[in-house]
Amino acid sequence: MENLINRTITESENKSLIQIPNDKEILMALNSIPSLKASGPNGIPSLFHKHNGETVKPLLLSPIKSFFISGHILREWNNTFICLIPKRQGASTVKDFTPISLCNACYKGRSQWRHQGNPDKQGGPQISHLMFAYDLLILSKATKANIRNVKSILDKFCSWSGQEVNCSKSGIFFSKNTSADTKRNAKAVLGMRKLKEDAQYLGNPMFIKKKRNDSLQFLIDKIKGKLTSWKAKAISWAGRATLINSVINNTPTYSMSLFRLPKSTLSSNYKVTRRFWWGTTKEEGSYYAPKNWDSICQPRLKGGLGFRRAKDSNEAMLSETTWALTKTNNSLADRDIKAKYGNFLNSVNRSSPSPIWKGLQWCEDIIQSNVIPDNSVKDIINFVACPPHTLIDNSLDKTNFSLYAAVTFYQLWNSRNDVLHASKPGDLHQTIKRIKYSYLKHMRRSQSDRILEGSPSALPLQLDPSQEPTGLDWSVINTYASWTNSSSCLSGILQYSCSPPTLSWFKISHEDNSLQAEAHATLLTVTIAAERGLTKIWLRCDALLLVDGILHPRTSPWEIRSLVSYIISILIAFRIGFVLGSQGRITPSLMTWASSAKSQILIRFVSSRDIRTFETMLSLPFFNL
């Protein structure tokens, strides 16, 4: 036992520690005390000694130096206050309280200098308080020899440190297969009692019964104990909401981070919280609740009050603990758990796992379904482009998975840039909508590409601005699109060769840019031509990018590639020619009305007279479409 602790303090360090402090060191220690702290029974804080240092300096320096010379503390230093803090409800004896002794200035000055240690290391981090151990847990096999060794070690520690084990606050717990004779011998030798089944440590039960709701019933009792001192009807709605969020919801927080609360405990928590919110004092029976509780437990942005459901909080806190175990950690608890159950994501099924491990396994699906490889960018790209075979087996599903992942990353990056650089508020629901819309658009485009690749009957298209159709079976179609602020008007005019216009139309739509509007206008045009049974059409269009994309679909812009595929799939049945420039535009009055319209609508005009009639209707004050 004499060689149990190695010598770590050298002879020179020992001399510097036991030397008597000088006046400068004592005054530096006193000045480090906060000005309003360490007030004695006379109510004078350390601020008084700082401002009147020259007057009271002899009264301060003399007793402190006397302590380091003689090793005895003056009797007057014990004149202080003692605050008793109850450790449990119904505290009646001294052992039920934690005594906190308040210090006076002289005592604090002496302790401050002792804490600073070697004067050559002043200003460094004060880490001595981290070495204080108020609790000690010893695990040992229940044999008589081990019990005597534990008793001997504790006695030796007390004789060395000058401290004493408080047996009234200590206890012993045994495993189920420990004999009654061994239990009696251990309690007699150590002088400690056996811990009760409902014993708690740091606010959590040390032993969990088979019926977990019995072991965790203290949470509901604690909440009810706080509610009994509040009169719900005398508290405003805002006050009740504050108490629910800050007190009731936070009471079981520590237990939620370790255990999965049973359904009966969660149900009791809901019941107590609801009755307090609606102002009823009855524990049983019906009461008036004008609004559903689930609608109240919603974020404020969605019309709720921000109350957290106990089940959701339990799941979130356990998931945080579970996620910490999945990371590389060299702590004692991490090594102990992994030695018994293995790696969390590849854990070994045990016949009788601990209640804490059961709660962690409850969150296993959440962790595995939301885990993202925390590796380099290259690894993430490989994960998207080449997903694991356990995740995707079919080649088509693999393509869809990679497409959806790429679209998701792209939209998330755009949303991040909007929030970070454009100072736009983040909207998760709009981001999800954009992801779905973009994914479906790319899916339709890829399906159209596969259709075109298997269609050998596709005719080559021609672009000849100098040639105009001469035959009577040719039809000329002018197409045009106007786009402003995501609102577009798609228009077109049909006429036969050497004949006046026979059909006009326009459609209100909503597109992302002008090129998409031109593509939708052309798609509408060829669709109407197909409905009328036309076989030879000459299409006039002033969008060069669109025309070039139709003639060379593989190099068309990606935002209109799916529309180009649809247009080409319809034009396969036509003999078609293109000419740049459009002569068939909707009149300004119709364009103004179209830009203000919010819904999608298609209107066709058989003649110019129909257009003039519609313009007259728009000018009437009561007309509102």
- pLDDT single digits (tens) 21-52: 888 887 787 777 777 765 555 566 777 777 77
Closest among 593, 602, 587, 592 to 625, alpha carbons compared? 593
Res. 124: pLDDT tops 50: no
Closest among 417, 300, 319, 308 to 363, alpha carbons compared? 319
202-222 pLDDT, tens digit each: 777 878 877 877 888 888 888
Place of tokens 């440190």: 161
316-346 pLDDT, tens digit each: 888 888 777 776 666 666 777 777 777 665 6
| pLDDT at residue 427, as a whole number | 85
Residue % of the chain over a pLDDT of 70: 68
Place of tokens 């969660």: 266
| pLDDT at residue 106, as a whole number | 55
* Distance, CA of 273 to CA of 226 (rounded, Å): 12
**What superfamily does domain 462-619 belong to in CATH?**
Ribonuclease H-like superfamily/Ribonuclease H (3.30.420.10)
Res. 186: pLDDT tops 80: yes
Res. 366: pLDDT tops 50: yes
Q: Quickly state the pLDDT bin for 165 (edges 50, 70, 90).
A: confident
Res. 624: pLDDT tops 50: no
| pLDDT at residue 509, as a whole number | 79
Query: Exposed/middle/buried for 594, CB within 10 Å: 0-12, 13-18, 19+?
Result: buried
The pTM score is: 0.43
* Distance, CA of 360 to CA of 29 (rounded, Å): 48
* Distance, CA of 276 to CA of 245 (rounded, Å): 12
- Going from N- to C-terminal start, the domains of the chain cover 11-131, 144-195, 217-371, 391-435, 462-619
Tokens linked to 616: 């007259």
Res. 240: pLDDT tops 50: yes
The gap between the terminal CA atoms of the chain, to the nearest Å, is 97
Q: Contacts from 281-286 at CB under 8 Å and sequence distance 24+? A: 281/232
548-578 pLDDT, tens digit each: 787 777 777 877 877 887 787 777 656 555 5
Tokens linked to 541: 């269009």
